[in-house]
Structure 1
Amino acid sequence: MQVKLSIEPWQTVHPFRISGLEITAIDFLVVELSRDGRTGRGEAAGVGYRNDLPPTMIPQIEAILPALERGMDREELNILLPACGARNALDCAMWELEARLAGRPVWSLAGLEPPRPVETVFTIGVDTPETMALRATELSQARRLKLKFSGDGGDAERLRAVRAARPEVWLGVDANRGLTVASCTELVPVLVECGVALLEQPLALGQEAQMALLDLPIPVAADESVQEIVDLERLVGLFDIINIKLDKCGGLTHALAMERAARALGFQVMIGNMLGTSWSHAPAWLVAQRCDHVDLDGPTLLRGDREPALFYSDGKVHCPDQVWGSG
């Protein structure tokens, strides 16, 4: 087994703003595993609010190289490493290497149906109402838009501006922990007025119990409040939807199990992303086949992508077999 670890910097097309954060560039860890002339690839951005970043991922993987070299499988990997970006990149690389050695695509190895294009949201970062409305108009192919909220008092006008620009589109909003019980309550009439279909992560981490204080007439998704399977049970009755991200839960293996566990507890399921190129989105696209909501527009926010790459048309994300995971 040959192992190659590298960190790649990528630029965003425009400054991408969410509550409390502006992103103009992002680093990705790339893991390449090679054996018998075949190579598997995995990519991870990590989870910034958990200080899980590419420079810390390389030592995590180096620490378990002896296990990898002696033939560690994905089950052992999920024991040796916690849910994190390092485990995600390594898990996905292991899936693709296995697929190429077996001559079967990852979806077949995972027991999934042949994948198909799926409708995705396209995300608009926090900006002025005018700029966000213009961006909504530019995203003319999008059937679903997700707006980032900042909690700065200007979210209602941002929402109204986008709704006026795109009266026909499905709309979701993502507060990224930027609201309080009071500010969220104030926004409820505007959410209803503008036909918002989903509210994501309104409150800060640690305030999940306060979700019971909110009288929300629309479905609410947990993102930062849920990382992996063990987080699910405490959110029952507080959230309607679970946002699974491979960087959060630690790879495709755990994501597929997490989708099943969330369903068993009565949640709807969403697949999301921490930005990333097509190499990180292709594994998530397989999970998307089983999800109610899909947020896989990350490559469109970057200044460039892999080749070959995912592509977007008619509001859907398409993933040709050769992008990642083919046998």
Structure 2
Amino acid sequence: MSLNYKIHTQAWPLAKEFRISRGAKTQADVVVLMLTDGKHTAWAESVPYARYGETLASVVAQIEHIMPSVHSELTGGELLTIMPAGAARNVIDCALWDLKAKQAQTNVHTLLSLALKTELNTAQTLSLDAPDKMAKAAGELKTNPLIKIKLDADDILGKMQQIHHSAPNSQFIIDANEAWNIDILTDILPKLVPLNVALIEQPLPSEQDELLTGFKPAIPLCADESCHVAADLKHLQNKFQAVNIKLDKTGGLTEAVNLMQQAKQRGFIIMTGCMVGTSLAMAPAYLIGAYSSFVDLDGPLLLANDRADGFSFNRGCMSSASATLWGRADNKQMMEHLHLI
């Protein structure tokens, strides 16, 4: 059955500037795809990522190019064979899963034989900033069990000491976004152990992964920019202990499930992550979160406002979104959610 579709780009202002080692942003630029078979209407959201050469325009062009080949009977596995991983495939794959659930009058987690948790503990992310400002922000989250810290290579230990002092009972994920080198990593690891650092994401540039071969870190290292799809796992073995699964990297929920299952079989720690987007982008990733040791789906918390019927957050506890948002019931309020139609 052929499908009609609409593509929209949206800019969601952030509550405040969000800075990482590669730069800063003040809004989340997202792509929304709506599909209809004439009876059911489905949708999804993805976030183009400049790190991989993606822009709003390039992702929209990819979607436009492939949509003549997309029909309601197309499976996620078939989509993997006609599109590369990335934000364009993600939004199509997740919209198709939403549509299939509505056509079958069921839900996506049932179609995929996945568990659905009503609550997940998620990290809340601190933007890169001056040490005193990061410490103050950490203090405001001191009751959260898990806080994610964006760092560059400048004054790593000093910042983490102040942050730990402000939130002594929290665990921390450090995300360096490829900003460190092997000497920094080797020197800093043992110093971070007493500061409740539980995981370090992508300390080195992805092209330097080989430097981690056989490296025995005191804190698990998590592949983020180095891990996109299940085929990457062979390369990551014996270098990283964990992988960060993001749907905009895997190119959708179909490959995210495959990556999660194969990573577990290989003994990797699973982390579920996100780009900065609305609850609509978090909804498919939430299903992977049920199988993850670390969850980082706080994208909506970074926004000035989220979509209606989105996730709720309370001291690091993330409650499942309304059934009207994605993947479970007919989205009768979708027009109101989208605002632009």
C-alpha distance in 1 between matches for 2:116 and 2:129:
39
Residue in structure 1 matching 2:47, options 45, 48, 58: 45
Residue in structure 1 matching 2:104, options 81, 102, 105: 102
* Contact 2:31/2:56 (8 A) holds in 1: yes
> Which portions of structure 1, spanning 4 or more consecutive aligned residues, are displaced by more than 6 angstroms?
none
Corresponding position: 1:260 with 2:268: no
* Contact 2:115/2:287 (8 A) holds in 1: no
- Which structure 1 segments of 5+ residues have no match? none
Q: TM-score, normalised by structure 2?
A: 0.92
Alignment of 1:1-327 (within 5 A): 1-69=3-71, 71-152=73-154, 154-212=155-213, 214-320=215-321, 321-327=323-329
Structure 2 residue matching 1:309: 3-state secondary structure: coil
* Contact 1:116/1:289 (8 A) holds in 2: no
* Contact 1:173/1:200 (8 A) holds in 2: yes
Q: What amino acid sits opposite 2:74 in the alignment?
A: M
Task: Tell me the number of residue pairs that the alignment of Structure 1 and Structure 2 aligns.
Answer: 326
Residue by residue, what CA displacement relative to the aligned partner does 1:187-215 show, whole Å, maximum 9, x if unpaired? 22331231211111100121001113755
Moved more, 186-195 or 276-285: 186-195
* Contact 2:141/2:167 (8 A) holds in 1: no
Structure 2 residue matching 1:207: 3-state secondary structure: helix
Structure 1 76/157 Cα, relative in aligned 2: closer, same or farther at 3 Å? same
Q: 1:293 deviation in Å?
A: 1.0
Structure 1 127/70 Cα, relative in aligned 2: closer, same or farther at 3 Å? closer
Structure 2 residue matching 1:5: 3-state secondary structure: strand
Could you tell me which residue of structure 1 aligns to residue 334 of structure 2?
none
The alignment yields a C-alpha RMSD, in angstroms, of 1.5
Q: TM-score, normalised by structure 1?
A: 0.96
Structure 1 residue matching 2:206: 3-state secondary structure: coil
Structure 1 residue matching 2:277: 3-state secondary structure: coil
Structure 1 residue matching 2:117: 3-state secondary structure: coil
Q: What amino acid sits opposite 1:169 in the alignment?
A: S
Structure 2 residue matching 1:25: 3-state secondary structure: strand
Structure 1 101/166 Cα, relative in aligned 2: closer, same or farther at 3 Å? same
Residue by residue, what CA displacement relative to the aligned partner does 1:135-180 show, whole Å, maximum 9, x if unpaired? 112224421011111112x221110111000111111211110000
Q: 1:30 deviation in Å?
A: 0.4
Q: 1:70 deviation in Å?
A: 7.5
Q: What amino acid sits opposite 1:138 in the alignment?
A: E
Moved more, 13-22 or 180-189: 180-189
Q: 1:26 deviation in Å?
A: 2.5
Structure 2 residue matching 1:9: 3-state secondary structure: strand
Structure 1 23/82 Cα, relative in aligned 2: closer, same or farther at 3 Å? same
Residue by residue, what CA displacement relative to the aligned partner does 1:62-102 show, whole Å, maximum 9, x if unpaired? 11222114843322211111001000001010111111111
* Contact 1:44/1:54 (8 A) holds in 2: no
- Percent identity of equivalent pairs: 33
Structure 2 residue matching 1:187: 3-state secondary structure: helix
Structure 1 92/141 Cα, relative in aligned 2: closer, same or farther at 3 Å? farther
* Contact 1:170/1:197 (8 A) holds in 2: yes
C-alpha distance in 2 between matches for 1:114 and 1:272:
17
C-alpha distance in 2 between matches for 1:284 and 1:313:
19
